[in-house]
Amino acid sequence: MGFGGEGAGATALAPAVGLRGVTKRYGPVVACAGVDLELMPGEVHGILGENGAGKSTLMKILIGLVQPDEGSIELGGRDVVIHDPQTAAALGIGMVHQHLSLVEALTVWENVLLGDASRFDRSAARRQVMETAEHYGLEIDPDRRVGDLSAGLRQRVELIKCLRRDPKILILDEPTSVLTPGESEQLFTTLRDVVAAEQRAVALVSHKLAEILHATDRITIMRQGRVVERSRTVEATASSLATAMVGRHVNLRSSAAALGVTDLVDDERLRAEREAAAAAAAVAARPVVLDIDRARVVHDGVAVLDDLSIQVRAGEIVGVAGVEGNGQRELGDLLSSLVTLDSGSVVVNGRSARTGRAGCMAELGIGVIPEDRHDSGCVLDLSVAENLVLDRIGSVARLGLVDRKRMRARALELMREFDIQAAGPDAPFGSLSGGNQQRVVLARELGHDPTVLVAAQPTRGLDVGAIEYMSGRLRAAADSGIAVLLVSTELEEILELSDRIVVMSRGRVIGELDRAEATSERLGLLLGGVGDDHDRSRGDAA
Amino acid sequence: MIAVLGVVLASAASAVGDVLSSEAMYQSAMRFAIVLAFAAAGEWVAERAGTLNISIEAMMIGGAYASAVAFGAFDIVPLALLVGVLAGVVVALVQAHLSHQLSIDQFVVGLTLNLFVLGLALFLDSKWEAVTSVVKPTRLPVLHDIPVVGEALFGQPWPMYLIVPVVPLAWWLVFRTRWGLEIRSVGDNPQSADVSGIHVNRRRRESIMVAGAFAGLGGGVLVLGQISIAGYESGHVGLKGIIAIAAVIFGGWTLRGTLMGCVLFGYFFALQQTLPVLGYRINAQLAASLPYLVALLVTAVFATRTRQPRALAQPFVRGLT
């Protein structure tokens, strides 16, 4: 199973793979600009950068999913062209994808075998899966359907799939985004073994500082498609990395959410927590505005929301924490009037929602910043102005026809108020940057004075500046008396903003913490409740 | 909805008690079911790979007409069936490349092909004479003497028995070969299949070829084993391809269920044919619409509740995501 060939001493000098001057453009956008990168055997190489810095594109070039416009790839001393994932696999490059490459309807062993070219032999394949699993301490039942597995176990399958092909180079793209802290720790332990014992080269792509500092030997930082800094991990500090990554000095506290380094700012946090505790006491006296009571939604025989109860008071931010895929999306859909409840109720200021009717939640004064703004937040082909009035076209209409003058006036007003940078109200929405698109959605939802604001992953995919703006707006919305429900998988974002935190797992609330008692450790432990469960299922599998 | 379906089935059967004891009824139902099963087995493979292949109808028509022409010209049944297979594959080639290489909407391509091949067969029929013929039934000794169902199961013209290897072949292809594993992966999650290094659209094209071959064979069996009227008529296939799609949906995208669907629909096709023979007076148009009515009910009931390939009918284009 080892990385054969050269000994460790010799390979310490020769890189396993080298990228030279790799450039990739998408229209006017340069995703990668002349990137040089060398991965050494026996090392974990962290590739750090904000969302959109070009990390994922670079890795896709390496795995053959994207063809570079310029530059070359050198593997074991000779230039190679990687046309497609098959070529990459043949060259010994394997990747654990951010959104895993597994097929839910197939079993574990079938998934591991997928994409191979060897003879199709069921029993040999199952045996190999078990051998690989045992070798790396990644226990798994080869006959389970992948769709029935937890996120952590799925990633384990993905890792086995990769390692079984004995790759010289292993790429992990944001591997912890769907994992609990406990599962992440286990992943990094496995990685250490893989690297130290077998001299593989590992690229760990992440936007989380803490993770990069913890798990890598060497760091390359990317910003706007370029490499801006290279260093050895032992010489790096969180603040130096953060500054390089963002391109300016950052206040670690206010940007902690984006960078994943809450534990580095404990002193400031303690002070903030004391202030928060006092504020929380005041909030507790206010009336409950949003009352979700034993909401239950069953989809394909699975309870995606399982007697979920959450209350939000006026002027309060309630953070919903949890590992991705535990019902957060369905909660957002429910409050966007997209889902019909099987039982339970949603009540806003004493008025019960008739779930399932289009617009029923908006009628009650619930504004939603959806998880995926392109999918459900706006229409890319319409103009900024049209998007801004999309849900209240009646307010700018006369005799059933849209009054374009009033629409533009309303748009200009909102664009000023929310500082939306666009060529004008008639600019196509798709021409705006991610941060400005998100502001349009925010402006529309806040524009008609909601009583409840639901923000689902509001900062995903945004740069640090846009994240700061969004955080400020959410805080201001709460201060003005709006009940805010913040759904996020970023623990730091939750800790940063919430007055109260509920933890969701498998469609249920499994724990609740006040701001004063919430630390990332305690939250991590609560999320680890999922971890316990997951350990049990491992026991079953064994 | 299930209850409604049950009532329809029960009333259809019980209202005409002697239908159940009619050998001719079983014989006829079995022939319809087998012809449907060829196309449905092919359709099942294509759908497992993610194509809702409505041109299965055109593939059957192509197979039926080509077989009839070849039979008229050479008078050799195996050769005629082979020509039918080829015709099905030719239609499949067009569907596959238009929908999974040029990324044209599969339904637009399918609908167009269905109308085009239907018209083409009629047009060519004025040039080349097509001959349909029922091959003399092969009666298996002893077995075919079993009362009521013996004739239906063991007294069919030999092309009908080709279904015996075809169905296991379809199952083996999908569940016991690497190709089949890849077929199932591209039907369920083409993005994952792509990053795993599988040529998604190539596999989908191949699955449509398989559907074309099976449906073409089904068309051939139809004109050489079932239809006794001399000459080719446009109504021979008569939307049986579409019914085959309904059978796949009825079967919840399992092969066993698909076959049960073929038997169900075969029964209703036979009912429409047998009732007048048995002396029942029933509006001919109403009787003729029965299988399609049941198909409509079945798709309405089953299309939403069963586990369909998740990427069914979704085109795959490698994106930036």
> Looking at the complex, does the CB of residue A125 fall below 8 Å from at least one CB of chain B?
no
Chain A nearest CA to B178, separation (Å): 5
A5 pLDDT band, cuts 50/70/90, is very low
Q: Which of A298-307, A342-351, B5-14 has the highest mean pLDDT?
A: A342-351
Residues A230/A216, Cβ–Cβ less than 8 Å? no
Domain boundaries, chain B: 25-234
Chain B nearest CA to A50, separation (Å): 16
> Looking at the complex, does the CB of residue B320 fall below 8 Å from at least one CB of chain A?
yes
Q: Chain A partners of B181 at a C-beta cutoff of 8 Å?
A: 106, 110, 113-114, 120
Q: Which of B 180-239 lie inside 8 A of A, CB atoms?
A: 181-182, 184-185, 188-189, 191-198
Chain A nearest CA to B85, separation (Å): 28
- Say yes or no: A462 and A357 in one domain: yes
pLDDT in tens, A254-288: 455 555 555 545 556 566 666 666 666 666 678 89
- Say yes or no: A233 and A286 in one domain: no
- Say yes or no: A3 and A123 in one domain: no
Q: Is B225 exposed, middle or buried (0-12, 13-18, 19+ CB in 10 A)?
A: buried
- Say yes or no: A355 and A281 in one domain: yes
| pTM as predicted | 0.76
Q: Is the Cβ pair A103, B194 closer than 8 Å?
A: no
* Phi/psi of residue A372, nearest 5 degrees: -120, 100
CATH code of A207's domain: 3.40.50.300
CA angle B51, B57, B58 (to 5 degrees): 100
In total, chain B counts a number of residues equal to 321
In a domain, residue A480? The reply is yes
In a domain, residue A402? The reply is no
Q: Are strands A44-48 and A70-75 parallel, antiparallel or unpaired?
A: unpaired
The shortest CB-CB distance from B196 to any of A101, A104, A122 is to A101
Residue A75: domain span: 1-92+167-249
3-state helix, strand, coil in chain B (%, to 5): 70, 0, 30
- Say yes or no: A127 and A213 in one domain: no
The whole-number pLDDT of residue A362 equals 84
- Say yes or no: A110 and A132 in one domain: yes
Structure letter (DSSP) for residue A342: S
- Say yes or no: A130 and A67 in one domain: no
Complex-level ipTM: 0.83
- Say yes or no: A68 and A183 in one domain: yes
Whether residue B180 is predicted with pLDDT greater than 50 in this model: the reply is yes
Q: Which of A164, A180, A208 is the last residue of a domain?
A: A164
The structural domain count of chain A equals 3
- Say yes or no: A144 and A50 in one domain: no
In a domain, residue A52? The reply is yes
> Looking at the complex, does the CB of residue A101 fall below 8 Å from at least one CB of chain B?
yes
- Say yes or no: A77 and A197 in one domain: yes
Whether residue B216 is predicted with pLDDT greater than 90 in this model: the reply is yes
> Looking at the complex, does the CB of residue A67 fall below 8 Å from at least one CB of chain B?
no
Whether residue A508 is predicted with pLDDT greater than 90 in this model: the reply is no
- Say yes or no: A21 and A52 in one domain: yes
The whole-number pLDDT of residue B321 equals 40
Q: Of all helices (H) and strands (E), which one includes residue A23?
A: strand A17-26
In a domain, residue A299? The reply is yes
Distance CA A5, CA A300 (A): 50
pLDDT in tens, B13-30: 555 566 666 778 888 899
- Say yes or no: A150 and A172 in one domain: no
In a domain, residue A314? The reply is yes
B233 pLDDT band, cuts 50/70/90, is confident
> Looking at the complex, does the CB of residue A479 fall below 8 Å from at least one CB of chain B?
no
Chain A nearest CA to B106, separation (Å): 23
The whole-number pLDDT of residue A202 equals 93
More confident site: B195 or B261: B261
Residues A207/A174, Cβ–Cβ less than 8 Å? yes
In total, chain A counts a number of residues equal to 542
Taking the CB of residue A497, how many other CB atoms lie within 10 A of it?
Answer: 25
Q: Which of A249, A283, A302 is the last residue of a domain?
A: A249
Amino acid found at B300: A
Q: Is the Cβ pair A85, B196 closer than 8 Å?
A: yes
Chain B nearest CA to A101, separation (Å): 4
